[in-house]
A = this chain, B = another copy of it.
């Protein structure tokens, strides 16, 4: 593990000298965190930054990015534009990320110029390149599905051979760029292989075992630049069409040994990959030899941790800031026996205007905590979430689900 330096509290006065931002001048030692990307994760990070007295600056693609609507300090630029990212990074104390779109090579170059990026360029490839993630985790003997990279020109034969060895169906995954079920195909038979191989022409991909899972779970750990780690309990994630619809925290009826294993896995992966900030580990829970198998990683606040905003002493957004600033981490205790998070997906009856008109109806249940992103609505896009805390997972889930149905216009209160 590369040793990590404690944040030196570089005076950020340089960043205040620019005439374009005369407003931010009161507390010159407030740490300036620059977040590349201005989506909902940046938006919610701003809520935590306000409390901590941290100055959050975001790099937005455009004025409609949902964090650009609420942050005072917004710069514009594309995450793959070297110039724009370099300009953005030069005057911040710590650079961090709302997504995985900044090339690790660019981050490495910025680090050579003295920028402190968290997570750093050595960790980012493992979330930008799923094949490198699989290889590295397997090398370090973490439980991962079996996988293979087909030989160029022999893709169909190699996938069929892999499936015959490990069983149908198999999973074909794009090496980069996938999220919310995009970039992942479950292939049931040889004609399906032919289809997907054709579709993926020109894209790097690999094939892996379809894990026969009982359910999907996830665990989040924070690792501070000071080396401290803290995790939340393992949660259950419920997916529909590849998109997470519910998170139940903690996961109901988890075997204590499995919960401990999940925690150990997450903390060890964070150390192994030298992650600074938040790490989400999505896992398959199985009835097989390996009760937990790693599916995906994310090195930032993550949808599976939105429940912490209302259900834990420290939210994932506050924890991410504390971790990247090298500060002590916050208590991850629960504030209620169970919290259920339900995602609000846009589309059909759920355009943003209609959702806003329906807020009062959804809030008629006084325990419903709404988090709206004020995003441009596209079908299936996450435009908000609802948390409900309670004593019993099923009741909390029904209440959260009902609030989401009301917001989507699928139920009249």
Residue numbers of A with Cβ under 8 A of B are 9, 22-31, 43-44, 46-47, 49-53, 55, 63-64, 66, 68-72, 74, 230, 309-310, 313-314, 322, 325-331, 333, 335-336, 352-353, 355-357, 359-360, 363-364, 366-367, 369-376, 384, 389
Chain B residues near A357: list those with CB within 8 A.
9, 29
Q: Is the CB of A352 within 8 A of B26?
A: yes
A55 — which chain B residues lie within 8 A by C-beta? 69, 374
**B contact residues around A22 at 8 Å (CB):** 63
Q: Are B29 and A353 in contact (CB under 8 A)?
A: yes
Bound-state Cα–Cα, A377 to B24, Å: 15
Task: Choose among A26, A30, A309, A369 the residue with the greatest number of B CB atoms under 10 Å from its CB.
Answer: A26
A71-B69 Cα distance, complex, nearest whole Å: 9
Q: Could you say which residues of chain B place their CB within 8 Å of the CB of A364?
A: 328
Partner of A53, one of B310, B314, B370: B370
User: In the complex, which residues of chain B have a beta carbon less than 8 angstroms from the beta carbon of A330?
Assistant: 363, 366-367, 369
Residue ID in chain B nearest A310 by CB atoms: B313
- For A325, what are the chain B residues with a Cβ–Cβ distance below 8 Å? 360
Copies of this chain assembled into the complex = 2
Separation in Å of the A17 CB from the closest CB of chain B? 15
Given A26-B376, A71-B72, residue A51 in contact with residue B327 (CB < 8 A): no
Residue with the greatest number of chain B CB neighbours at <10 A, chosen from A25, A352, A366: A366
Q: Tell me the minimal C-beta distance from A52 to chain B in angstroms.
A: 6
- Listed by A's residue number, 20 A-B pairs whose Cβ atoms lie within 8 Å are A24-B69, A27-B374, A29-B357, A44-B50, A46-B50, A51-B372, A52-B359, A53-B372, A69-B72, A71-B72, A310-B313, A313-B367, A313-B369, A313-B389, A326-B360, A328-B360, A328-B363, A328-B364, A330-B366, A331-B366
CA distance in complex: A204, B111 (Å): 63
In the bound assembly, the distance between CA atoms of A24 and B49 in angstroms comes to 21
Q: DSSP class of A's interface residues: helix, strand, loop or mixed? A: loop
* A148 to B384 CA separation, bound complex (whole angstroms): 55
Point out the residue from B29, B46, B72, B335 that lies within 8 Å of A335, measured CB to CB: B335
**A413 to nearest B CB, angstroms?**
10
CA gap between A238 and B62 in the complex, in Å: 48
Residues of B within 8 A of A370 (CB): 51-53
Q: How far is the CA of A9 from the CA of B360 in the complex (A)?
A: 11
Which chain B residues border A367 with CB–CB below 8 Å? 313, 330-331, 333
Q: Bound state CA distance, A157 and B261, in angstroms?
A: 80
A31 to B25, CA, bound (A): 30
Q: Which residues of B have CB within 8 Å of A326?
A: 360
Bound form: Cα–Cα A244–B52 in Å: 21
Give which listed residue, B29, B46, B230, B352, contacts A70 with CB less than 8 A: B46
Q: Closest B residue to A44 by CB, please name it.
A: B50
Name the B residues within 8 Å of A374 (CB-CB): 26-27, 30, 53, 55
Q: What residues of chain B lie closer than 8 Å to A71, measured between beta carbons?
A: 70, 72
Are the CB atoms of B26 and A64 closer together than 8 Å? yes
Q: Give, as a whole number of angstroms, the nearest-CB distance from A249 to chain B.
A: 15
Q: Is the CB of A27 within 8 A of B352?
A: yes
Q: With a CB–CB cut-off of 8 A, which chain B residues contact A70?
A: 46, 49-50, 71-72
Take A26-B64, A30-B374, A352-B27 as given contacts and tell me if A360 and B327 are in contact as well, using a CB distance cutoff of 8 Å: yes
